[in-house]
Every structure is written in C-alpha cells, then in structure tokens.
C-alpha cells in the first residue's frame, strides 16, 4: 500500500476541488478509511462525520448489509447499458420506490446525480405540456433561497442572490422566482403570480419543508400543502426536490408526506444508496407518464445517461431500503426522532450567543444561523479548521453551521458534535 504522503503530494497538483478557490485554499485532509460515523485521516486521527458526506451516508459508512449487496452484484453484473436491456436490481428498485412513494408516483427514471434528476424533471414537465399541445407552458417557478443543482438548467432555479451562481447571470434561462407563501399576504401574492403567469408556467419546484444549500431554511407542512393546492387550481405541475429530505432525513420517509402532498414529479438522490454509489431517480405520477405515450416518436422522453440504472448502485439502493424495513431491526425513523430531540436540547444554548441569529431543527437536521452584522464576514475557513481540531467533520457554508449526522450515530457521538458547535461559536462570540 502506497504511503499517504506519496499519493497526496503527487496528486494534489492535478486535482480541481469543488467550491474552492484553488489559489488560496488550505490543503484538503487526506482520508484513508471510513467506518460507521468515523472518517480516518492519513495522520491517524479520526473525525466524527456530522454531515454524512454531503447528506448521503444515512446508515453510516461501510454498512455491512450494503457492502455485501454490492459485492454480490459486482461478481455477477457490474454494469450494462439501460437501453433495450434491463436488469433485476433496477426493476426491483423501481418497484420498491413506487410502493414507498405516496399516491401514484410510479414511473422511475434513473440517473446518476441530483442535479441531473432535476434536469430530467424539468424536461418531463415542459414536454408534458408540449405533448398535450400547450407549448407556451415552459417557464418554471422556484423560491427564494432555493438550491436545485449546479448544471445550467438547475442553476437558473437557485436564488440569484445567494452568490454561488452569480457569475453566470445573463447566460441562464429566465425563470420566475417567488417568495415561499408562509403567511396570508405571501399566499395571496403566490396565488396571483400563478393566476397571472399560469398559462406560461409548466411547473413549480420546491424543496419540501427544508431548503438545504440555500441556508437550511425551514417551512411548515401547511405552506407545502398550500403550494400544492395552488398548483392544482392553476393547472401547473408540482415538482418536489427531495434530494436532501428524502429517505427519512425530515422525520418522514419523504418530507411531502407530512403535508399529505403527492407531487406530480419527485426527485431523489443523496441517501438513495446510503452514500455508497452515485444514483438518482426522477419519479412521475401516472398522468404525467401517460402524456408521453403516443404513436409519434417525438412524444418520447429523449434522455439517457450512459450509466443510467447502474446495477451496482441499484443493488446498494435496494440494500439501503432494506435497512428502513422493520425486519432488519434498523429503526431509522425512530433514530431520526431521537436525533431531533437531542439536537433541539443541545443546540438551543447557541441561541443566546453573540453573532447567532437563529437555531433551527427538523428531523435529523440542525442549523445555527450566524449573524453577519455582528462581526462582518464570517470566517468559514477558521470555523472549519476549528471543527477539525475538535475532532469533528463539519463544513459550514454561507452563514450557517449545520449538522446532518448519520442516523446510526450514538448519543455520545452526537453530543461531541453539538459540543463542538457550541465551543466554536462561543469562541467566535468572544471576538465580536
């Protein structure tokens, strides 16, 4: 086995890291192994992962049931194209997703990433109306603080003031941003927006209950239910982006269930494979799929990723779904409820610190929003470095320090994470 210093020294000059100014960035931490909730570094240290590797490793790392399923699949069928051919892992997974999802969300289109899953949803929504002869319905309504991905179509659905995609202003499709209708005045405004523009709007896209990368902003089930009803009244499709909230993170298997909402299209990824392999799914309701059935080849959905429905990824996803079943004695949703209670109790002390604007918790998501006014710009680099020194892996962004731990985290490990947040923010407060 090669020395970590060798591959690190030789490889870093050739890598381009995400969301990173490479001219000034500190060197990334070299990882040699993961297990459970732990990330082992090249120098022998271990960090407790408080963000589940960008919200994916819901069952922790290297889960034996998922690992065994991938090993079995690797021995028989690692990959085959998914055009004119199908295989058991993908069809089993599609059947299980259709059974788990609310209502008649039953037609599954597999891709490899969340951004692409959203792109496919947008294509489905626009072509749905085209196939029905309403070609003018091609705009998408999204919400302030939204984040739906980094590809070109999805960048156009992200809050333009959040900063991540401002460089591309003027080159992106012109979509319609709305305020989340969280009170009566905003509900009237949203209804008026759809009444005014509905003839041109193909779909509304929303992150149910929690807007993730836009700042862990949270809204209630009544808001989501209102959005769904407004879409129905104005004949606009509803797309639920559950890439982050799906598979238990919000406290329900899918966040839209809390509002008894059945979206026309739902996007899934992140925890779909338990953080083991890349996979995403765009799932449509029966009436959406029906609009693509015709003798005309042009009515078909023309999209097909090369690694669509990769058998290894589908095997991992099936194994991950197993772990949500009672028969596997893995009470995932009960674990989420326990995490929520502990986050509420242990993050609340942050609310009184200087430089803290808010503390929010939903399911296995805890967020501490920092105030920029108290001390100017937030030094994210300093916070990230301090968290590593405290033995935890947290990656705050914007003005939010957040926790999204694996569901299998112990009470003690979660306590270490929340203590690290309190310690780092207390130290920050003393400098303000």
Q: Are 227 and 204 in contact (CB under 8 A)?
A: yes
The fold of 65-322 is 3.40.640
Residue 226's φ and ψ, nearest 5 degrees, are -65, -45
Hey, where are the domains in the chain? 4-62+331-430, 65-322
CB hemisphere CA count around 79 (13 angstroms):
8
Q: Are 317 and 341 in contact (CB under 8 A)?
A: no
Concatenated DSSP letters for 295-352? S-GGGS-----TTTT-HHHHHHHHHHHHTTSGGGT--HHHHHHHHHHHHHHHHGGGGG
Residue 121: closest CA among 136, 104, 140: 140
Active site residues: 19, 147, 241, 270
Q: What is the pLDDT of residue 2?
A: 54
Q: What is the pLDDT of residue 294?
A: 94
Q: What is the pLDDT of residue 373?
A: 66
The fold of 4-62+331-430 is 3.90.1150
**Interhelix angle for 64-76 vs 311-322, to 10°?**
150
Parallel, antiparallel, or unpaired: how do β-strands 365-370 and 356-362 relate? antiparallel
Q: Are 199 and 136 in contact (CB under 8 A)?
A: yes
Q: Kindly list the strands in the beta sheet with 356-362, ordered across the sheet, starting from the edge strand earlier in the chain.
A: 356-362, 365-370, 400-403
Q: Are 323 and 65 in contact (CB under 8 A)?
A: yes
d(CA 221, CA 255): 9
- pLDDT values of the chain reduced to their tens digit, one per residue, 432 residues: 456 668 999 999 999 999 999 999 899 999 999 999 999 999 999 999 999 999 999 999 999 999 999 999 999 999 999 999 999 999 999 999 999 999 999 999 999 999 999 999 999 999 999 999 999 999 999 999 999 999 999 999 998 877 678 888 888 889 999 999 999 999 999 999 999 999 999 999 999 999 999 999 999 999 999 999 999 999 999 999 999 999 999 999 999 999 999 999 999 999 999 999 999 999 999 999 999 999 999 999 999 999 999 999 999 999 999 999 987 767 999 999 999 999 999 999 999 999 999 999 999 999 999 997 655 678 999 999 999 999 999 999 999 999 999 999 999 999 999 999 999 999 999 998
d(CA 268, CA 260): 18
d(CA 426, CA 347): 12
Q: Kindly list the strands in the beta sheet with 31-35, ordered across the sheet, starting from the edge strand earlier in the chain.
A: 31-35, 38-41, 46-49, 392-393
d(CA 49, CA 43): 17
């Amino acid at each position: 086995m090669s020395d970590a210093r060798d591959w690190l020294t030789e490889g870093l000059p050739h890598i381009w890291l995400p969301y990173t100014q490479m001219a000034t960035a500190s060197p990334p931490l070299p990882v040699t192994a993961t297990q459970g909730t732990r990330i082992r570094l090249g120098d022998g240290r271990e960090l407790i992962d408080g963000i589940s590797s960008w919200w994916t490793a819901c069952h922790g790392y290297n889960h034996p049931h998922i690992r065994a399923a991938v090993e079995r699949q690797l021995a028989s069928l690692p990959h085959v194209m998914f055009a004119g051919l199908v295989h058991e892992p993908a069809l089993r997974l599609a059947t299980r997703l259709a059974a788990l999802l609310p209502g008649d969300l039953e037609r599954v289109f597999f891709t490899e990433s969340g951004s692409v899953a959203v792109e496919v949803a947008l294509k489905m929504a626009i072509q749905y109306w085209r196939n029905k002869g309403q070609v003018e319905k091609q705009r998408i309504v999204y919400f302030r603080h939204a984040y739906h991905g980094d590809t070109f179509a999805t960048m156009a659905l992200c809050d333009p003031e959040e900063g991540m995609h401002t460089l591309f202003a003027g080159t992106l499709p012109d979509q319609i941003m709305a305020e989340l209708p969280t009170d009566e005045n905003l509900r009237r405004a949203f209804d008026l927006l759809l009444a005014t523009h509905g003839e041109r709007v193909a779909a509304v896209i929303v992150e149910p209950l929690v807007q993730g990368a836009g700042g862990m902003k949270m809204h209630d089930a009544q808001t989501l239910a209102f959005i769904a009803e407004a879409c129905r009244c104005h004949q606009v499709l509803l797309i639920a982006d559950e890439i982050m909230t799906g598979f238990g993170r919000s406290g329900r298997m899918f966040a839209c269930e809390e509002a008894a909402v059945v979206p026309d299209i739902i996007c899934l990824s992140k925890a779909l494979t338990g953080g083991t392999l890349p996979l995403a799914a765009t799932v449509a309701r029966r009436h959406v799929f029906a609009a693509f059935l015709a003798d005309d080849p042009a009515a078909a959905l023309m999209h097909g990723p090369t690694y669509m429905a990769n058998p290894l990824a589908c095997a991992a996803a099936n194994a991950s779904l197993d772990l949500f079943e009672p028969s596997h004695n893995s009470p995932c949703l009960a674990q989420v409820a326990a995490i929520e209670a502990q986050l509420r109790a242990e993050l609340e002390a942050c609310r009184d610190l200087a430089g803290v604007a808010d503390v929010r918790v939903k399911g296995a998501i805890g967020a501490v929003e920092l105030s920029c006014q108290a001390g100017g710009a937030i030094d994210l680099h300093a916070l990230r470095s301090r968290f590593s020194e405290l033995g935890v892996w947290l990656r705050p962004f914007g003005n939010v320090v957040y926790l999204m731990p694996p569901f299998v985290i112990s009470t003690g490990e979660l306590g270490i994470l929340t203590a690290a947040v309190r310690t780092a923010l207390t130290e920050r407060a003393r400098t303000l």
